[in-house]
Amino acid sequence: MANVVDIGILVSGSGTNLQSIIDRIEDGRLDARIRVVISNNPKAYALERIKKYGIPGVIVDHRDFESRESFDLKMIDVLRDCQVELVVMAGFMRLLTPVFLKAFPMRIMNIHPALLPSFQGTHAQRRAFEYGVKFSGCTVHFADEGVDTGPVIIQAIVPVLDDDTEETLADRILREEHRIYPQAIQYYAEGRIELVGRKIKIKGIEGVAGGPLHNPPVMGF
């Protein structure tokens, strides 16, 4: 049995990952309650998305603050006021300071559109495409002081096809983001996430979906 986990979602842009979390809560598959959505960007389309669900949205514009710490302190205030347990960064384009990380230890998730630790940082899909990798994917991880360096919770792999463009690859990755982020939050709600050293174990869940993958295919070896 899962507890319903109170989450706060940090966004900067279109909010498709936010939408996937809302949809899974609405259809009863995700045991979470969105207490607040915080955007550092007043024009983020994510803020439009939440209106019809009555989810509170708060703009905390980083440009109104003198330091990264004071910006983070404001977000901490909002999240605590809203009794948020788990912070979910969904397309949030600001780096968190240690002040924020200490306020929510091992309770801040992020999603990255690459198979970490490959292609950390911005424009991950473009850099994977230009590098010529045969597989890419996405990763949900806990945030730490580094850029996309925290413990990995779940990853999805997608193939890179010969006729892909940067956009078709990014779309294929995004579709998997929309599956693994709700799953990671649900694992949290079910109390399954355990940190062992820097590795995450998902208690009671064994094995992987799918076997070894090859791209291009291995023919008879």
- Catalytic residue list: 112
Which residues form the interface with ligand GRF (CB under 6 A)? 13-18, 90-91, 111-113, 174, 177
Q: What sign for the dihedral angle of Cα 27, 29, 34, 40?
A: negative
Minimum separation from the CB atom of position 49 to ligand GRF (A):
10
Complex with ligand GRF: residue 35 or 49, whichever CB lies closer: 49
Smallest separation, CB 204 to ligand GRF (Å): 27
> Least distance to ligand GRF from the beta carbon of 15, Å?
5
* Residue whose CB is less far from ligand GRF, 15 or 57: 15
**133 close to 118: Cβ distance less than 8 angstroms:** yes
CB contact at 8 A, 98 and 174: no
Minimum Å gap between C-beta 74 and ligand GRF is: 21
Closest CB to ligand GRF among residues 35, 113: 113
Backbone region of residue 71 per phi and psi (left: phi > 0; alpha: psi in -120 to 50; beta: other values)? alpha
C-alpha span between 143 and 24 (Å, rounded): 23
Rank residues 101 and 109 by Cβ distance to ligand GRF and give the closer one.
Answer: 109
What is the distance between the alpha carbons of residues 44 and 70, in angstroms, rounded to a whole number?
21
Q: Comparing C-alpha atoms, which of 109, 95, 93 is closest to residue 7?
A: 109
Tokens 């939440």 correspond to 50
Please, are residues 3 and 32 in contact by the beta-carbon 8 Å criterion? no
